[in-house]
Chain A
Amino acid sequence: QSVLTQPPSASGTPGQRVTISCSGGSSNIGSNTINWYQQLPGTAPKLLIYNNNQRPSGVPDRFSASKSGTSASLAISGLQSEDEADYYCAAWDDSLNGWEFGGGTKLTVL
């Protein structure tokens, strides 16, 4: 059972906008920044969003994220087939003194 809670699945059609939520608590999301990682099938995770809402160079601006209190969300607009992947949120947990990942959300592009 992950400390950070994500929906196990999400889906959308090409061009649509989808959002993925990540819910935590005061010791993780509530007091630390959150990051999002994209894991394409059969590959290692890749940094998608850092410091709550910052995109690394090379990540399309179709990807955006926000954080409020103990929850965060990732939004993907103009959905494309290549966005089909697993998405993970992650945050440091002050109580557990370690990194916590959400359980992951499998995004399907219909």
Chain B
Amino acid sequence: QVQLVQSGPEVKKPGASVKVSCKASGYTFSAYYIHWVRQAPGQGLEWMGRINPNSGGTNYALKFQGRVTMTSDTSIGTAYMELRSLTSDDTAVYYCARLVVVPGAKWFDPWGQGTLVTVSS
């Protein structure tokens, strides 16, 4: 079945960087964009950006531009999200999600299980 499996929880100090991985299985990895969405404790969902695994092309939400880098390795079907200059406001669960596109519509399915990133001194 189509599945996204993310790397484990991380604890980082303020100012550090974190890199989260998202391994895809059950479909052709290069055929679907991977998006990243985060959720701060008790808060809603926030879109961070996306990567086209086929071309490596990326688009980032304005809020994260300059601080985030999304990459992918098609040889192992894995996408990565690196966030730099972490502050306590970056404490959140980070999700990857596959974007399904058909003429006139698109949606996220499935989602990874989430990776908790805790930023604390």
Contacts and interface: CB of A to CB of B under 8 A. Distances in A.
A51 B103 CA distance: 10
Given A51-B105, A97-B59, A99-B35, A45 B44 contact: no
Given A44-B111, A44-B114, A97-B59, A88 B106 contact: no
Interface string A39-51: 0000111110011
A12 B45 CA distance: 24
Nearest to B114: A44
B108 interface: yes
B31 interface: no
Interface in A15-62: 33, 35, 37, 43-47, 50-52, 56
Given A35-B107, A47-B108, A51-B105, A101 B47 contact: yes
A55 to B, nearest CB: 12
A1 B117 CA distance: 23
Interface centre among B44, B106, B112, B113 (most CB of A within 10 A): B44
Interface residues of B, number: 25
Interface of B: 35, 37, 44-47, 49, 59, 61-62, 95, 97, 100, 102, 104-114
Interface on chain B toward A: helix, strand, loop, or mixed SS?
Answer: strand
Contacts of B100: 50
A45 B97 CA distance: 10
B108 A33 contact: no
Given A33-B104, A44-B95, A45-B95, A101 B111 contact: no
Given A37-B45, A99-B37, 11 more contacts: A35-B108, A45-B37, A45-B95, A46-B111, A51-B102, A51-B104, A51-B105, A56-B109, A90-B107, A97-B59, A101-B37
A90 to B, nearest CB: 7
B92 to A, nearest CB: 13
A96 B100 CA distance: 20
A2 B44 contact: yes
A82 B84 CA distance: 39
A103 B40 CA distance: 12
